[in-house]
Amino acid sequence: MDASDVGNDLENILLTQEQLETRLGEIAAQIDRDYAGKDLLLVGVLKGAIMVMADLARHLHHPVEMDWMAVSSYGSGTKSSGVVRILKDLDTDLSGRNVLVVEDIIDSGLTLSWLLSNLRSRGPASVEIASMLRKPDAAKVDVDVRYLGFDIPNEFVVGYGLDYAEKYRNLPFVGTLAPHVYSS
Ligand code: XMP
Ligand code: MG
């Protein structure tokens, strides 16, 4: 899928496929160095992180394992409340494991800070975060992102796993939507 497949739904392309690809390669090299000789479990947060997970994992030389969680944060509309429910838990026992949480985007940071304390309570050797995107509001909550793709402006974005009403996830880049998409 590409920009031409979604008519005039896009307002702006913030990050091209090439930019995402290049940055992921750099992050993967860093992860390969940091975890050399250590076990590593990638934990993807469904559904947004599917693209980052797939591309990051393929860039890595490290023989990782992958597992998935699905969480929902209660909140009104597009704002997260920090009250989180686990919809799908991990299949993996985390005790003694090095865990790297793979996320698409950190907005308020509330979801991730809840997730971190939840995962840390399971006795892992370490828990770190890799996120492709981060919005400025994330600074309000103390979430220590070890591997970050890009800081982006405080706008709603779609593509590369991110959706609006479950659509646009399979765009290979990150962009903003034209106003008519929201109002129709
Ligand atoms: P927090 O708790 O960090 O929530 O506020 C992060 C989650 O909110 C979703 N989110 C977005 N989804 N475009 C999207 O498609 C966005 O611009 C956006 N901002 C936040 C996303 O599910 C993320 O995991
Ligand atoms: Mg998410």
> Per-residue pLDDT tens for 77-122?
566 666 789 999 999 999 999 999 999 999 988 889 999 999 999 9
Cβ-Cβ contacts under 8 Å for 144 (sequence gap 6 or more)? 129
| Average confidence (pLDDT) over 37-60 | 97
Whole-angstrom distance, CA of residue 129 vs CA of residue 113: 10
For the CA of 114, the closest atom of ligand 1 is 2
Domains of the chain, start order: 17-153 (3.40.50.2020)
Q: Is the beta carbon of 143 within 6 A of some atom in ligand 1?
A: no
At CA 45, angle to CA 88 and CA 54, rounded to 5?
Answer: 120
Alpha-carbon torsion, ordered 156, 109, 20, 149, to 10 deg: 140
Q: Is the dihedral of CA 44, 49, 53, 59 positive or negative?
A: negative
69 lines ligand 1 (CB under 6 A): no
Q: What is the mean pLDDT of the chain?
A: 93
What are the start-end ranges of the H helices in the chain? 17-34, 50-59, 110-120, 179-183
Residues 6+ apart with CB under 8 A from 140: 108, 109
Nearest CA to ligand 1 atom 23: 105
- CB 162 near ligand 1, within 6 Å: yes
Q: Answer whether residue 168 shows pLDDT above 90.
A: yes
Instruction: Answer yes or no: is pLDDT of 51 > 60.
Output: yes
Q: Which of 9, 55, 104, 107 is catalytic?
A: 107
